[in-house]
Amino acid sequence: MPSSLPNLSALALFVAVVDEGGLGAGARRAGIHQPNASRMIAQLEAQAGTALLERDPRGSRPTSAGLLYAAQARQLLEAAEQFSDWLRHSREEGVHELRVGVSMTIAEHLMPAWLAELRRRSPRTRVDLEVLNSTQVLAGVHDGHLRLGFVETPRLPRDVHTLTLREDELVVVVAPEHPWALREGPLELDELASTPLVVREGGSGTRDAFEELVPAAGGTPPVQELGSNAAVRIAVASGAGPAVLSMLAVRSGLESGQLLRVPLAGSRLRRPLTAVWNGPRRLSGPAADLVAVATAATPPPR
């Protein structure tokens, strides 16, 4: 770069001094210590070959040459800002951003593989992921904060578009020392509904789905109410009581022996895992790509 070109930081400082009416105030606005600011102004004056500021105890005022210099400096600084904006946008050109809300079980057990496949298929898609409960995801989709959501609740509003990806099974789990671990026959739903359970917080898809499938359970106060699947698993393994969780969330605990599954009498407890969105019925762009990945990665309902 030719040495005759001015330093942009020094130009910004000079404009700040002119605007603020003093070297100290201008230096503070520019975030520069005053001794350094004095040296930078002196370098500008040496480069310009003339005095740019008149200094007196009341402050610093631009000379006639300084006024012209400041006007040219503003134009150059504005052009530099435009160049910086252009450069930033050129870097980001072709990068597609997608804000997605995901409920807990899907976020923990399915979304990581979906995102890996999406990056493979569409490397310029950037996903901003928010892990929430199902109620919060639906609210974010409804108000436009989220472009796309994945929820576990069967309680879906009518004013969003939905696509069922798969069915998920809810299972009853206990610690190995729990009395239910020794029972010979399957557990009746009436007994399950009347038993205080370790449950997820209100608004979670797991809890919504269980209370939808077993309505009487909603009238039994829980023994504990916790904000994540991991916390529920730990509480159950510690002997706090039974819980009803997704098979996805308890599979590793069952395999390790930390948890035991209690068979249920009658049909299994199943709930949908669903993609939700607002706006046009037909998805496009990165949202459509992610739903396509999720659909291909999950088996059809059984």
Q: Count Cβ atoms below 10 Å from residue 198 Cβ, excluding itself.
A: 24
Q: What is the mean pLDDT of residues 25-37?
A: 89
Same domain, 151 and 221: yes
Query: Residue 301 — very low, low, confident or very high, per pLDDT cuts 50/70/90?
Result: very low
**Domain span including residue 202:** 97-297
The pLDDT confidence band at residue 126, using thresholds 50, 70 and 90, is: confident
Residues forming beta bridges with residue 270, ordered by sequence position: 169
Residues 42 and 132 in one domain: no
Q: What percent of the chain has pLDDT over 90?
A: 66
What's the confidence (pLDDT) of residue 302? 43
Q: Please state the domain count of the chain.
A: 2
Instruction: Dihedral sign for Cα 38, 43, 48, 49, please.
Output: positive
What is the rounded distance in angstroms from the CA atom of residue 256 to the CA atom of residue 70? 73
Going by DSSP bridges, is the β-strand pair 59-62/224-226 parallel, antiparallel, or unpaired? Answer: unpaired
User: Cα(108)–Cα(112) distance, rounded to whole angstroms?
Assistant: 7
Domain shared by 54 and 193, yes or no: no
DSSP 95-123: -EEEEEEE-HHHHHHTHHHHHHHHHHH-T
Which of 68, 92, 116 lies at the terminal end of a domain, its last residue?
A: 92
Same domain, 51 and 195: no
The pLDDT value given to residue 1: 42
Q: Is residue 25 part of a domain?
A: yes
In this structure, the answer to whether residues 14 and 161 fall within a common structural domain is no
Higher local confidence (pLDDT), 194 or 21:
194
Average pLDDT (45-63) is 87
The yes-or-no verdict on residue 93 having pLDDT over 60 is no
Comparing 72-86, 125-139, 168-182, 250-264, the range with the smallest average pLDDT is 72-86
Q: Which CATH number goes with the domain that contains 152?
A: 3.40.190.290
Q: What is the pLDDT of residues 182-204, one digit of tens each?
A: 888 999 999 999 999 999 998 89
Phi, psi (deg, nearest 5) at residue 124: -95, 10
Cβ atoms of 24 and 42 within 8 Å: the answer is no
- The DSSP H or E segment spanning 85 is helix 64-92
Q: Are residues 141 and 39 in the same domain?
A: no
End of a domain among 60, 92, 124?
92
Q: Which helix (H) or strand (E) holds 16?
A: helix 8-20
Same domain? For 66 and 197 the reply is no
Q: In this structure, are residues 174 and 208 in contact, taking their beta carbons and an 8 Å threshold?
A: no
* Residue 3 belongs to some domain of the structure: no
Same domain flag for 157 and 223: yes
101 and 188, same domain (yes or no): yes
Structural domain ending residue among the three candidates 45, 72, 92: 92
Asked whether residue 2 is domain-assigned, the answer is no
Taking residues 103-110, what's their average pLDDT?
93
As a residue count, the chain comes to 302
Compute the average pLDDT of residues 152-166.
93
128 shares a domain with 59: no
Find the CATH number of the domain harbouring 65.
1.10.10.10
CA count, 13 A, side-chain hemisphere, 292: 13
pLDDT beyond 50 at 300: no
For 58, counting Cβ atoms within 10 Å of its Cβ (0-12 exposed, 13-18 middle, 19+ buried), the class is exposed
Give the angle subtended at the CA of 220 by the CAs of 270 and 212, to the nearest 5°: 25
Q: Report if residue 234 sits inside a domain.
A: yes
Do 85 and 186 lie in a common domain? no
Together in a domain, 120 and 82: no
Strand partners, 225: 199
Q: Mention every residue, 6+ apart, whose C-beta is less than 8 A from residue 136.
A: 101, 203
> How do residues 72-81 score in pLDDT, each as one tens digit?
999 999 888 8
Taking residues 42-65, what's their average pLDDT?
88
